[in-house]
Amino acid sequence: MPTPPPDLDDVRASYDRVADNYVAMGMGDLAAEAWLRAALAAFAEEVRGLGPVLDVGCGPGTTTAHLTTLGLDVRGLDLSPRMIEHARRRHPGLDFSVGSATDLALADASLGGVLGWWSLFNLPRDVLPEVLAGFARALVPGGRLLLGTHVGDGEVARTEAYGGVPVRWTTHLWQPEQLAALLSAAGLQLVAELRIPAEGQVRAGVVLCAVRPV
């Protein structure tokens, strides 16, 4: 895997600063997100029994914990130590660790599933393809990658977030067709796509599920 880009140091520090507000504001709560829960349920049904699942960019562990209720053996990983502190406090029985998507050193065919749930959009455009290729190699044949992210064109530089906390990160926007092409180039086959329209100040999103061919 590539060496973590220098700007991810800023991303890590920024998420450390926003972590407390992120949790207090209930960000990532799935209670009102029926379609997202449906996508996670379908993912769980397809990977259950294939091997462990890695939730990359797990934040405070909300989705990691949700997947465990669906019968999966899930481990959460996040770039931000403060986010992992919250995850361990809120879900003490689960496995969480600090780490970067760009430096995972995953063994080939070691995972039944990988989740990138609105957690990879800070990766530079030239880095994401290598990260996806690493995920693909780590999946067993028939294993799934579930990817959720913002839809759009170009980059959005953020200077504050989650209640006005100062941050320094860039959100890299993708069109679904571009992401599908990246997944194909990584050796994965797209099996499902859920497009989520923009609503109010919430940016449009997309969920893509891809399989490592048997």
- The pTM (predicted TM-score) of the whole model is 0.95
pLDDT of residue 199: 86
Distance from the first to the final alpha carbon of the chain:
24
The helix/strand/coil state of 1 is coil
d(CA 34, CA 43): 14
d(CA 101, CA 124): 12
**Mean pLDDT value of segment 159-178:** 96
pLDDT of residue 5: 57
Structural domains in the chain plus CATH codes: 7-211 (3.40.50.150)
pLDDT of residue 200: 77
193, 208 in Cβ contact below 8 A? yes
**Mean pLDDT value of segment 23-29:** 96
In the predicted structure, residue 6 carries a pLDDT above the cut 50: yes
101, 71 in Cβ contact below 8 A? no
Please, what is the average pLDDT of the chain?
Answer: 95
Strand order in 189-196's β-sheet? 95-98, 74-78, 53-56, 111-117, 139-150, 205-211, 189-196
